[in-house]
Amino acid sequence: MKIKFLVLSIAVAVAPVLAHGSVWGDGSQDTVRVVELVPGGIVESTVRSGDRGSESYLEGEQVWVGLLCSFGSEIPQDASYFESMYHRPATGLASYWSEVSGGRVSLSESFVVDWLPLPGQYEDYVPVPGNTCSAGGATVDLGSLFDDCTAAADGLVDFSTVAGIQIFLSQPLDGCAWGGHRYATLDATTKNWPVTWMGPQHFVQGMVAHEMGHAMGLGHSNNSDGDGTTYDSPWDVMSSATGGGHFEPPYGRLPVHLSGDQKGRLGWMARQIEMDESGEVRLEHVAGDGSDDPLVLKVPLDHGGRYLTAEVRGGNASLFESELPGVSPVVILHQVDASRVQPAWVIDGDTPPATYSGTEGVMWRPGEVFETSEDGRDQHRIRLTIHAPDGDGMLLSLQITQDLCAGGDDSLDQDGDLVPDYCDLCPGSDDGLDTDGDGIPDGCDACRGDNGSGDVDGDEVCSNLDCNDGDPGVAVVDACGVCGGDNGGCSGIFSHSFETGWSGWSRTP
């Protein structure tokens, strides 16, 4: 049996790629986020983000309108191409979002508006053509494109019935496709409109779905190689938009599913089981048609909100998933940390992790075991065993133990103080004995009784015994009670309390 040991928190920190800034001023709702697709990858930058409305936005009928807006007479695709992208049976975008949401949303009423001329010239909107976009922002006037394209369609579309807007343009933009929000008033409806902007090179269904995900409020997912590129996991359409999708001409690569964590962010994970103790579970394939068993397993890694997810992916249960790496369904694991810009990272059992996660290291097969090692952060030790397939699903068994000392062997305790040696503050003595409560066990406390103040002036006299701990030349009280005195011919004993400071005089005959 192959066992892959994982240290879950050693990934290199990656600089945030979500940029924020003011693009269109409407006061308090001026935050911006945009995503760009470039040849060979995707780079994220800036477009409108903010309140996307109530959670009901992601339930029920969601009408998206595809606005085809041209800079001139050149038309790269006719309207039927986009209608078919939405509505062709089994593999259109309507079928995709229905499957991914578990039937919670429908795009069946979505429609396309045939090509409309824009009032400006190409150069008015795209002053710097070519691959000129960057993580710093767009070099195309997205605001004017939105305003002019929606204005051109105003007599044809009742925008008050529309959930999202896709702007398909007749010529390339700045080398990127964009997705996010635009704050505007259309047909007496004022809100942050989910919107995408795409040129002809991005009329690929997987890319369209990726941008729709951003417009719905989703960020990116990632793999675990720590290289700063977020578009290198084929197991989530919000990472590699077209990396693992079924190829279907003329629409290119179809989108794969969202990861379980991303579905949860949209309220689509009712069939999720969270386990914080040992047990067994059967996971159904993410396509979810085989049974009512859960689709995602969620396991807390610590008390700070980090967790592990497991889901069954690939195989033939879903046409969208049918060309993912691997022949049969496999278990895919993600580590989720909300403090990261891309919270969900696919877990790779290989060292070092692959730069593109289409390798065996990320595919957990029957007979394999995932086990966390001590990494100084995980408070729960997890051992997850992948058992035999069961239909399109998979049987898993989970063993969870509390990790007393992350980073060391809990069984080694030479001084018997119930603190494992690796985490022992004071080897050879009882860490639980701390008379002065300074956090230093008595056995290693050179200034026991000082409440942690130690030797402030460096004269090697502990603060609790030093009558002037700000003067290294004055430390001792003489018999007359004088700090640094010479007894002055008086007899007597000065009494000092470690806890309360000066406590008074007492005399002896």
Mean pLDDT is lowest, of 224-233, 238-247, 466-475, for: 466-475
Q: Is position 208 within any domain?
A: yes
Q: Which of 360, 386, 403 is the last residue of a domain?
A: 403
Could you tell me the pLDDT band of residue 12, with boundaries at 50, 70 and 90?
very low
User: Phi-psi region for residue 336, left (φ > 0), alpha (ψ -120 to 50) or beta?
Assistant: beta
pLDDT digits (tens, 9 = 90+) for 212-239: 999 999 999 999 998 888 899 999 999 9
Query: Predicted confidence band at 46 (pLDDT cuts at 50, 70, 90)?
Result: very low
Residue 196 shares a structural domain with residue 240? no
Using H for helix, E for strand and C for coil, what is the string for 125-136?
HCCCCCCCCECC
- Determine what percent of the chain is predicted with pLDDT higher than 70: 73
Share of the chain above pLDDT 90, in %: 49
> Number of structural domains, the chain?
3
Same domain, 209 and 248: no
The whole-chain average pLDDT of the chain stands at 78
d(CA 364, CA 428): 43
Q: What is the pLDDT of residue 505?
A: 27
Do 8 and 46 sit in the same domain of this protein? Answer: no
Q: Is the pLDDT of residue 316 over 90?
A: no
In a domain, 420, yes or no: no
The predicted model gives 423-431 an average pLDDT of: 79
Distance CA 381, CA 200 (A): 49
Among candidate residues 121, 116, 198, 212, the one with its CA nearest the CA of residue 157: 116
Rounded to whole angstroms, the maximal C-alpha distance in the chain is 115
Q: Give 40's pLDDT tier (boundaries 50, 70, 90).
A: very low
Write the pLDDT tens digit of every residue in 48-104: 222 333 333 489 999 999 999 999 888 999 999 999 999 999 999 999 999 999 999
Residue 472 has pLDDT above 90, yes or no: no
Q: What is the pLDDT of residues 252-298, one digit of tens each?
A: 999 999 999 999 999 988 789 999 889 999 999 998 776 789 999 99
pLDDT tens digits, 330-379: 999 999 998 888 999 999 999 899 999 999 999 999 999 999 865 444 55
Structural domain includes residue 446: yes
Domain with 442 in it: 434-509
- Tell me whether residue 417 is in a domain: no
Choose the weakest-confidence range: 214-223, 255-264, 409-418, 447-456: 447-456
The average pLDDT across 390-400 equals: 91
pLDDT at 353: 93
pLDDT at 287: 86
Taking the C-alpha atoms of residue 229 and residue 332, their distance in angstroms, rounded to an integer, is: 20
Domain final residue, candidates 158, 191, 219: 219
Q: Answer yes or no: is 251 within a domain.
A: yes
| pLDDT value at residue 491 | 34
Q: Looking at 219, 248, 281, which one is the last position of a domain?
A: 219
- Judge if 391 and 472 occupy the same domain: no
What does the pLDDT read at residue 451?
58
| Whether residue 360 sits in one domain with residue 477 | no
Task: State how far the Cα of 202 lies from the Cα of 163, in Å rounded to an integer.
Answer: 22
Q: How confident is the model at residue 498, as a pLDDT?
A: 25
- Do residues 172 and 66 both lie within one domain? yes
Instruction: Name the band, by pLDDT with cuts 50, 70 and 90, for residue 464.
Output: low
395-401 mean pLDDT: 91
pLDDT of residue 150: 98
Single-letter amino acid code for the residue at 63: V
Are 59 and 3 in the same domain? no
pLDDT over 50 at 502, yes or no: no
Burial class, 332, CB count within 10 angstroms (exposed 0-12 / middle 13-18 / buried 19+): buried
Name which of 13, 12, 8 is nearest 403 in CA terms. Answer: 8
Q: How far apart are CA 290 and CA 341, in angstroms?
A: 34
Per-residue confidence (pLDDT) for residue 452, from 0 to 100: 59
Domain match, 368 and 491 both: no
pLDDT band at 492 (very low <50, low <70, confident <90, very high): very low
Q: How many CB atoms lie within 10 A of CB 51?
A: 12
Same structural domain, 238 and 196: no
Query: Looking at the domain assignment, is residue 279 inside a domain?
Result: yes
Closest CA to 43 of 241, 176, 170, 221: 176
Query: Residue 60: how many CB atoms within 10 A of its CB?
Result: 10
What is the CB neighbour count within 10 angstroms for residue 321? 25
Q: Tell me, what's the pLDDT at 376?
A: 43
DSSP state of 201: G
Classify burial at 418, counting beta carbons within 10 Å of its beta carbon; exposed 0-12, middle 13-18, buried 19 or more: exposed
> Which pLDDT value is given to residue 14?
25
Residue that is written with structure tokens 């903010």 in the block? 50
pLDDT at site 35? 33
pLDDT over 60 at 479, yes or no: no
Q: Residue 428: inside a domain, yes or no?
A: no
Is 413 a domain residue?
no
Q: Are residues 336 and 373 in the same domain?
A: yes
Task: Quote the pLDDT of residue 501.
Answer: 26
Same domain, 7 and 53: no
Q: What is the pLDDT of residue 333?
A: 97
Q: Are 191 and 241 contained in the same domain? A: no
